[in-house]
Structure 1
């Protein structure tokens, strides 16, 4: 495999020579941000853009030339979080930032994503309309992009539209000079979502009104014809005066078309459980499928060809990542790549207009995150860089999938990360339940698990009931189960790892963040005999107080979700009291550290203070570590935030659950 020649060493870093016993990477090595991410190749195949910089202050947009021009570096700004960058055309970029803003000047701060158009020479940038969504990059007119924008449709005086002004959607051709440099291409009827064909014409639309889903086609340009309709089933959840509805049916949306326009792809739940991929045949007006489904997980993260906006494949996660392309050329390349990197998740992440130069992303196995450039003309694949160059491949801890059964017989699995070079036997263990709780972990390089494994700990990430991506039934079986079967799933994983000899019985600690932080406190109060120490990050400690916070935030927009997931905290007071760790602090037996960011908008810092006050009132020892100005989400954390987290994790674990001496 040839290394791409001429890359600047400060931007593209080579993997160093292997060491028999590599040094353990430092806290700073793990705290550093990825020095290469969001890697994309320009439409003409001449330049690569990516985000670089190991700290917020160093974050930059880097453009590297493949034709010999000097690289360019654009300051990414240190007062916002630079989340992604891609090419709008050969001379302009789309940079996505996460910003903390006061929404509607109501004093309600929230994290929002905003898109900016940035000249590739760094000469200027401007913010794209906040309501604009990218429809497609039109290669027939590379100086513009197509965007959707909400519009008001004036029907007053119309004989067919009624005497009203309706909200509708408009397709605009957006120039890259300034925000208002756009012209209208198409105005749709109110209430419809439109799909474009390969020629960027709106040829399919859908909507549902009062429980009826309708699909319309204008593929032959003869006028709109309704080709499918269905009465959906409403599932209604009530919580006092609040209500949330969900709709169930064979088709409730459509994601996009294939390159010919014959098929429209969508996802639907099979037996109202796991999502699978279906398609609608516009020649026969019939639903076909499922054409891709899994016995374990939801399927439905569609892959698009940016040149035509056509759906060409689907990606999903079971225990490992799976990719299935509908296009034979892409499928052939994907198959070869998976054969070349059998232990990793490998993806085609970017390609040029001629599909001759392709960026390949590789994660997991014996790499943190690596990028390659495939030249399809020569057949060579050149290594660009690893995202975390401070962590050599030899220092990466192995990850394996471990299956276990819950006490009620439910089959579960999780990811076991073990110290490099160590047999998975009689190890000190850190249980690491994920946040959410409607989220999941994935196979690959997890910085938190890798950091702990490098310190000599086995780390287990259980995919307990309620985790996202394994079907609707897997979610609903966790409703009302905080502190019950959800917590049992974590405890049962501990028992399994001890019984199989992976973990030493008296060397188990529990660490989690967000819901994982709640699970840590629940473990400390409900099953204190299991854990030698507990670390609760950004935890919910008092469900009553947390729900009061949610009720007052954004008009209580998320209250029905939490009522469905947790239960009715107004009437089920005995249950909520029992599962609220701060109300049971006297049951804590293990050393406890609470660590929380003071600028957390998701779980307020007050939750950490409530637990600390309860521990003090119960006469129990504890530590409270306040990360000043720390956020909730890891992607928003600064290097200083992560360094403080890792420093305290290492210190607390070494004191209360020391690893084997050789690994310290």
Structure 2
């Protein structure tokens, strides 16, 4: 059994030390929630002797390296760069993936582009990966930023490590001049990339692909091919995938098979397909939900699966050694959601993240050989346990009888009766909220509000029927699923129906715009971040971004919006910009100028339409902020605008 040991001062950087929980008569300041996590991107070195992490120092990020005993090995100030991933290539090199919003010469429009660097812990030198390529395979990795002199080395996703013939090697993916994906092996100290034309799919121990997937988007055919002595042979095919396609995930339970995720009428299912072309085997896991495989980070061997449940993340391991290790770890943290963050290749040491009723998210180093666990630090150390609101997983019936799951966060220290409510729909809409500490809803709860996060039809994770029920329902049943939740909570006596506002980001921003314009009479105010306000113009923009009227992206949007074409007249009645005459409550709009997912113009045109109609609207312009609120200043600006707006128009007391 693991002993839990809180080692005070075990980690040297002040940015990673957890603050003591003290009784506070007032809620924590907005900054306690709006700051980027004090700790993120933790990773163990392969030998288990070092930890890399990203810490915060005000608005700036720092890459920290230290031993598991707490000895600092280096701190690198990386400023406000947007860090997307940190991992070890070997015991001396840390790989850091960052992104930048840019207009790159030769690429289609402004977008978020990724680059990767290697940091040598011993020499303390950084090198940009794929800064040059050799051996043929000309690529577009080095692209000049339009209007500038810098060179941006584009990568697609984080670098990854694979053991080839017994030797760990590092790979990145980029584009060739035909804008096709290409894999490069990179030198960690020079950054030079060598093209690997024999890899595209599931990589075998010899560094060659054993299986590849292909898709014909014009006909909807998707198939898997396996390597033979000469060329490839098709081993499995599926039809009718014009939008949602299967996915080739990796090896199966043995390395003579692969796993494919297949969308079916009853939900997504996993199939194990023999490489010799034998009959597929459906993998069943009872009622634990849709499974995601867990693979060994170096060999690609299947270790098990994880499932995102209603209240936690569950794990099922097919590898007996890892399964026993995880059972011991989970037993050490009863009544908490325990998540695997990083581990050594031999699975003797782990970094885990715990969350629970009194835990905002705490990282622990678990050493199975030593039989102990050391607390590393908290993601939100300035939020004390007593400030965390209770989260209940509930469900209610929509007007047509559809069951809508939801998360209800309650304000700490208040009676659960006649509470003021904030409805907070998630983005996507093909997404879902997750269990665990949610800093948005917890900030609102700390101010005295109940927060409802409905998993409206169209959300994923609750079965395919629930997801498909959202097709064509933008601004229609997807919208009334939200207000049906208000009516349910009011009937239960939990909330006061006269004190309800709506707030959301991305698709949630659209829903917040649609609340007072398309489903009026429910909310006394609305705050919308990065929302879509005009559906035909959004489709116009997506067409320009993706290069056609019938691309898979366009099919996806039209399916959810219920449109047969861009100028479909039915989109007018579910476009908030076209329905501003219905708005009769104060509206707050927030949008980042560097948003590559929903253009800033969507909020701008809605604000203009509201102003022309004489409506009460305020617009907050986030200069230099992206769609994901990646900067501390952007997050803080959002909440410094949102909280006073809600407290003015929907006082919590």
Q: Do the two structures share a fold, i.e. TM-score over 0.5?
A: yes
What is the match of residue 589 of structure 1? 584
Deviation at 1:85, TM superposition (A): 0.9
Instruction: Give the secondary structure class of the aligned counterpart of 1:76.
Output: strand
Partner Cα separation in structure 1 for residue 566 and residue 171 of structure 2? 51
Among 169, 179, 185, which residue is 2:191 paired with? 179
Equivalent pair of 1:144/1:176 in contact (CA under 8 Å):
no
Does residue 469 of structure 2 align to residue 477 of structure 1?
A: yes
Per-residue CA deviations over 1:169-212 (Å, capped at 9, x if unaligned) read 88765331223264x7x643xxx844234565544445567847
Partners in 2 of 1:571 and 1:644 — Cα distance?
A: 34
Task: Tell me the TM-score normalized by structure 2.
Answer: 0.86
1-structure distance, mates of 2:402, 2:417: 25
Q: CA RMSD in A?
A: 3.1
- Pick from 423, 438, 446 the counterpart of residue 446 of structure 1: 438
Does the CA contact (< 8 Å) of 2:536 and 2:566 recur in 1?
no
Secondary structure at 1:443 match in 2: coil
Q: Matches of residues 92-107 of structure 1 in structure 2 within 5 Å?
A: 92-105=93-106
Range moving further from structure 2, 133-142 or 389-398: 133-142
SS in 2 for 1:466: coil
Find the aligned partners of 2:175 and 2:590 in 1 and give their Cα distance. Answer: 43
**What is the deviation of 1:452?**
0.5
Question: Equivalent residue for 2:64?
Answer: 62
Displacement of 1:538 in angstroms is: 2.2
State yes or no: 1:653 paired with 2:646: yes
Per-residue Cα deviation, 1:70-125 (whole angstroms, up to 9, x for no partner): 331012233x3112211011111110101112244457110122222222243222
* 8 A Cα contact 1:23 1:395, kept in partner: no
Give the equivalent residue in structure 1 for 2:46: 43
Confirm whether residue 384 of structure 1 aligns to residue 396 of structure 2.
no
**Unaligned runs of at least 5 residues, structure 1:** 153-165, 236-244
Residue deviations 1:343-371 (CA, integer Å, cap 9, x gap): 43312221123322211122343212211
1:591·1:656 contact (CA, 8 Å) conserved in 2?
yes
1:207–1:593 Cα change, 3 Å: closer
Q: Does 1:606 align with 2:601?
A: yes
* Cα gap change, 1:224 to 1:379, in 2 (>3 Å): farther
Residues 195, 202 of structure 1: 8 Å contact kept? yes
What is the rounded CA distance, in whole Å, between the counterparts of 1:609 and 1:171 in structure 2? 40
1:460 aligns with 2:461: no
Per the alignment, residue 83 of structure 2 pairs with: 82
Give distance in 1, aligned partners of 2:438 and 2:208. Answer: 42
Task: Tell me the distance in 1 between the aligned counterparts of 2:404 and 2:244.
Answer: 29
Is residue 266 from structure 1 mapped to residue 266 from structure 2 by the alignment?
no
Matched, 1:545 2:537: yes
Matches within 5 A, 1:135-174: 136-138=161-163, 144-146=169-171, 173-174=185-186
**What does the per-residue CA deviation read over 1:593-629, in whole Å, with 9 as the maximum and x for residues that have no partner?**
2222333333333322322232233332222232333
The residue aligned with 1:156 is: none
SS of match in other structure, 2:94: strand
| TM-score, normalising length: structure 1 | 0.85
Distance 1:42 1:572 in 2: 54
Q: Aligned residue for 1:577?
A: 572
- State the distance in 2 between where 1:176 and 1:618 align: 59
* Range moving further from structure 2, 359-368 or 88-97: 359-368
Among 405, 418, 422, the alignment partner of 1:426 is: 418
Distance 1:414 1:434 in 2: 11
Aligned residues: 618
**Aligned with 2:75 (options 63, 73, 76):** 73
Report which stretch shifted further, 97-106 or 353-362: 97-106
Give the 5 Å matches for 1:619-658: 619-634=614-629, 636=630, 638-658=631-651
Alpha-carbon distance in structure 2 between the residues aligned to 1:563 and 1:609: 23
Whole-angstrom distance in 1 between the partners of 2:156 and 2:501: 47
Rounded Cα–Cα distance in structure 2 between residues aligned with 1:151 and 1:621? 50
Distance (Å, rounded) in 2 between the aligned partners of 1:621 and 1:658: 18
Q: Is the 8 A contact 2:86 2:96 kept in 1?
A: yes
* 1:534 corresponds to: 526
Deviation of 1:461 (Å):
0.6
Deviation for aligned residue 1:484: 0.9
Name the SS of the counterpart of 1:53 in structure 2.
Answer: strand
CA distance in structure 1 between the partners assigned to 2:417 and 2:329 by the alignment: 33
Change (3 A) 1:279 1:7: same
Equivalent residues of 1:432, 1:511 under 8 A apart: yes
Secondary structure at the counterpart of residue 516 of structure 1: helix
Contact 2:253 2:318 in 1 (8 A): no
Judge conservation of contact 2:325–2:368 (CA < 8 Å) in 1. no
Q: For residues 325 and 404 of structure 1, do their structure 2 counterparts lie closer, same or farther at Cα, with a shift above 3 Å needed?
A: same
- Per the TM alignment, residue 429 of structure 1 is displaced from its structure 2 partner at its CA by 0.3
Q: Which has the larger radius of gyration?
A: 1
Distance 2:320 2:254 in 1: 15
SS in 1 for 2:240: strand
User: Does structure 1 residue 228 correspond to structure 2 residue 235?
Assistant: yes
Question: In the alignment, is the contact (CA less than 8 A) between 2:12 and 2:70 conserved in 1?
Answer: no
